[in-house]
């Protein structure tokens, strides 16, 4: 376990309100993980194309302007 990871974990816990639960901590940790992974993917150039986004939105019934 890296020192940076421990520092980030402590920051996460300290940022939670005093009324936070384990579920709140887990939710925030999952969110943080998703953000870090998404930034890394974007830095690797892994983006969805406009067509991919339109196709997915179309499946959801969202009308997307061209």
Per-residue pLDDT reduced to its tens digit, 39-52? 999 999 998 888 89
Please check whether residue 28 lies inside any domain of the structure: yes
pLDDT tier at 66, thresholds 50, 70, 90: low
Say if residue 62's pLDDT is above 90. no
Residue 28 near residue 10, CB atoms below 8 Å: no
Please check whether residue 37 lies inside any domain of the structure: yes
Closest alpha carbon to 29 in 53, 55, 11 = 11
Q: What is the distance between the alpha carbons of residues 52 and 15, in angstroms, rounded to a whole number?
A: 36
Please check whether residue 49 lies inside any domain of the structure: yes
Please check whether residue 33 lies inside any domain of the structure: yes
Please check whether residue 50 lies inside any domain of the structure: yes
Question: What's the structural domain count of the chain?
Answer: 1
Q: Please, where are the H alpha helices in 2-65? A: 3-15, 22-43, 50-59
Please check whether residue 42 lies inside any domain of the structure: yes
Please check whether residue 66 lies inside any domain of the structure: no
Please check whether residue 40 lies inside any domain of the structure: yes
Range of the domain at 25: 3-59
**Non-local CB neighbours of 15 within 8 Å, separated by 6+ positions:** 28
Q: Could you report the per-residue pLDDT of 9-33, keeping only the tens digit for each?
A: 999 999 999 999 999 999 999 999 9
């Amino acid at each position: 376990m890296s020192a940076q990871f421990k520092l980030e974990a402590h920051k996460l816990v300290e940022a939670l309100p005093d009324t936070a639960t384990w579920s709140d901590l887990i939710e925030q940790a999952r969110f943080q993980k998703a953000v870090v992974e998404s930034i890394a993917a974007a830095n690797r150039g892994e983006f969805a194309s406009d067509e991919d986004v339109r196709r997915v939105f179309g499946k959801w019934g969202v009308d997307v302007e061209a």
